[in-house]
């Protein structure tokens, strides 16, 4: 239990939440920007090639895989948005950028990984909202803490002002005009 005189503290979770949500928003922005950049590069000078489905997505940890021939070598693209009727071994039409054979997407689609773009579109606003909530809570606590500290400083300065005034007048306000007496060990007067 906290003592009444102890200063209130804000939990570290608010700071951690603000940092993590800001990092998430930044990461998702970069993912969306990367997909848009790849889509623009492919759309500028698309080169159509024939690919073969080598793996289908299965569960959360398995991505689709498509192998294709480009620039005189065998390449592989993962996590492309495949048609729902695709099976392993099926041929599939792909487009890659003329200047980069690694920038590839399925024909008639805009983004190479449309799921990543949708994830960025959903998660960036949520992460920014969470970051704003955490920062608002932190700032509200800091403002309240500043008001509390200013109140304590005012109270301390008033006490100091009262004490200095009392010292300047010979301390009658503290001792009511009487000199204070120190008690000696052993009672009022030590016996001789």
Q: Single out the residue of 32, 28, 95, 24 nearest to residue 66, CA to CA.
A: 95
66-109 residue pLDDT tens? 999 988 889 998 888 888 888 899 999 999 998 888 889 999 88
Tell me: pLDDT of 1 over 50.
no
Task: Name which residue leads in pLDDT, 159 or 145.
Answer: 145
C-alpha to C-alpha distance for 167 and 73, rounded to whole angstroms: 93
Q: Are 123 and 28 in contact (CB under 8 A)?
A: yes
The percent of residues above 90 in pLDDT, for the chain, comes to: 27
Kindly give, in sequence order, each residue whose CB lies less than 8 Å from that of residue 117, ignoring residues fewer than 6 positions away.
31, 32, 35, 36, 111
Q: How many CA atoms lie within 13 A of 91 on its CB side?
A: 5
Taking only the tens place, the pLDDT of each residue in 7-50 is: 567 778 888 999 999 999 999 999 889 988 989 999 898 999 99
DSSP 171: S
48-57 tens-digit pLDDT: 999 999 988 8
**pLDDT mean across residues, the chain:** 80
Residue 88: CB atoms within 10 Å: 11
Question: In Å, how far are 7, 59, 91, 134 from 83, measured between CA atoms?
Answer: 60, 17, 11, 41
CA separation, residue 126 to residues 22, 115, 134 (Å): 10, 17, 12
Strand pairing of 91-97 and 73-78? unpaired
């Amino acid at each position: 239990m906290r003592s009444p005189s102890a200063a209130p503290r804000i939990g570290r979770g608010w700071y951690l939440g603000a940092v993590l949500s800001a990092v998430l928003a930044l990461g998702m922005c970069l993912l969306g920007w990367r997909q848009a950049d790849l889509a623009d590069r492919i759309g500028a000078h698309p080169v159509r090639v024939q690919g073969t489905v080598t793996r289908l997505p299965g569960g959360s940890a398995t991505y689709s895989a498509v192998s294709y021939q480009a620039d005189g070598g065998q390449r592989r693209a993962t996590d492309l948005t495949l048609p729902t009727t695709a099976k392993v071994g099926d041929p599939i039409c792909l487009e890659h950028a003329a200047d980069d054979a690694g920038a590839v997407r399925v024909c008639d689609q805009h983004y190479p990984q449309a799921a990543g773009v949708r994830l960025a579109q959903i998660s960036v606003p949520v992460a920014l909202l969470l970051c704003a909530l955490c920062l608002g809570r932190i700032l509200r606590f800091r403002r309240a803490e500043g008001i509390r500290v200013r109140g304590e400083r005012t109270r301390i300065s008033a006490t100091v002002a009262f004490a200095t005034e009392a010292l300047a007048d010979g301390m009658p306000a503290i001792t009511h005009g009487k000199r204070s007496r120190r008690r000696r060990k052993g009672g009022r007067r030590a016996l001789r």
